[in-house]
Amino acid sequence: MDEEYDVIVLGTGLTECILSGLLSVEGKKVLHMDRNDYYGGDSASLNLTQLYRKFRPDQTPPTELGRDRDYAVDLIPKFIMASGELSKILVHTDVTRYLEFKQIAGSFVYRDGRISKVPSTQMEAVKSPLMGPFEKRRAKKFFEFLQGWKDEDPATHQGIDLDKDDMKTIYEKFGLEPGTQDFIGHAMGLYLDDDYKTQPAREAYSRIVLYTASMARWGKSPYIYPLYGLGELPQSFARLSAIYGGTYMLDKPIHEIITDADGKFVGVKSGEEIVKAKQVIGDPSYFGAGKDVADGGKVRVLEEGKVVRAICILKHPIPGTEDADSLQIIIPQNQVGRRNDIYIAMVSSTHNVCAKDVYVAIVSTIVETDRPEQELAAGLQLLGPVYDKFISVSSLYTPTSSGEADNIFITRSYDATSHFETVVEDVNRVWKAAVGTELVLKKRDVEPEA
């Protein structure tokens, strides 16, 4: 540790590991440390022993759940959009060679007290109970409009300006019912609340197109998932970083972030050792998150909300889902009188994350009251009997500054969205601040199948 580095990265969550990998590929000398003795930080997947140690330190896992090593329980429920930004990074960095992916079997939406499959084919759309026959015709016109849109061809615009008109205007133009709007905005646009309706429609358009493209890629659902859990993602980017010279140290407590008289970053202190670098990148927990006074009294991160998550172990598939081995269920806020949607994400032994005949579902939402667990009730009641349940309430932190002034670049907490698009946005943001240029992915030649 007696060398000087270009960048010290603190925490091995996915955001930090992607950055570490890309920086090492770029030729930067990276030292990557984590206080835990495992990879992944908040985006780790834990085996049973680790899970119980975290939530129930005084209890050992019940033997009837099976072998410890068969489990990889995610702490943060997210899926990968098949055609999204994380997929692109995985392919471009070639870390796909360390990973295997499977589809998530289905995407469901809650409406009027029951759940229905989000149609993945024309056939399913025609049969779907989500819309009546006339509404289906109107929705068809709406989707044809979106699919046919070309920026350069005003004939495809039908009098709409995506950068000025809001989604409300477009819904009204096509005469779509509120339930259909919920379905489009929440189950396809993956908006957590209804604020998007009064924003320019461009972003909603992009999101729906991304959803449709992801759905079209492999069918069934727009999502894919890595075998052995999401914790494989940070590990694979860490390996990429190591291959390009990055140095890794787990189980390394960080005691102090050292700055000079101007507040600029100098190095980090672990025990009696000080290691220096030009820049530091890290997750909020290394920069005073959750503490009343941060190092030197400087407030580097702010809480901007809380998410409540319930990790539920089930001994059966979720009722009413045709025994899907994995799924997402979205409960739009309007349906249950909330401001934010409730999400259910479920995976099973098909994805090598638990023993056979066990299903792991995570119910989550953004906290709106002082009784967060009760806010999950509408989601929990869809699961049927729950074998065991682990509840957490996590604060979402955001940095107070971009980092250019003091060379301290802090990533954001993992939010309540169901996918990794905002994680990649954060990677782009930190890269631009720390490196000074936009992140451009180097395109690799796809190797011939050996």
* 35, 42, 70, 96: residue in contact with another protein (rule CB under 8 A): 96
Dist CA 406 CA 265 (whole Å)? 6
Q: CB burial class (10 A; 0-12, 13-18, 19+) of residue 190?
A: buried
- b/e per residue 340-358 (b: at least 16 CB within 10 A): bbbbbbbbbbbbbbbbeeb
Q: Tell me which stretch binds another protein (CB under 8 A): 230-238, 276-284, 315-323, 412-420.
A: 230-238
Query: Is there binding between residue 150 and another protein (CB under 8 A)?
Result: no
The set of residues, in sequence order, having a beta carbon less than 8 Å from that of 374 and lying 6+ positions away, is: none
Q: Taking CB under 8 A as the criterion, which residues in 13-42 touch another protein?
A: 38-39
8 A C-beta contact, residue 417 and residue 78: yes
Nearer to another protein, 83 or 107 (CB): 83
> Long-range contact list for 264-267, CB < 8 A, 24+ apart?
264/405, 264/406, 264/407, 265/406, 265/407, 265/408, 267/8
* 55, 98, 145, 174: residue in contact with another protein (rule CB under 8 A): 98
Nearest distance, CB of residue 74 and another protein, angstroms: 14
Query: Is there binding between residue 450 and another protein (CB under 8 A)?
Result: yes
Dist CA 325 CA 384 (whole Å)? 15
Query: Is there binding between residue 446 and another protein (CB under 8 A)?
Result: yes
**Strand ranges for 147-264 from DSSP E:** 223-226, 247-249, 256-259
Query: Is there binding between residue 97 and another protein (CB under 8 A)?
Result: yes
* 125, 160, 242, 391: residue in contact with another protein (rule CB under 8 A): 242
Dist CA 51 CA 357 (whole Å)? 19
Q: Taking CB under 8 A as the criterion, which residues in 74-93 touch another protein?
A: 82-83, 87-88, 90-92
Query: Is there binding between residue 245 and another protein (CB under 8 A)?
Result: yes
Nearer to another protein, 69 or 371 (CB): 69
Q: Taking CB under 8 A as the criterion, which residues in 394-433 touch another protein?
A: none
Query: Is there binding between residue 315 and another protein (CB under 8 A)?
Result: no
> Which two structure tokens, joined as six digits, stand for 430?
């930190």
Look up tokens 């604020």; give the residue. Answer: 195
The site for another protein (CB under 8 A) is made up of: 38-39, 82-83, 87-88, 90-92, 96-103, 217-218, 224, 227-228, 232, 235-236, 238-239, 242-245, 247-252, 440-444, 446, 449-450
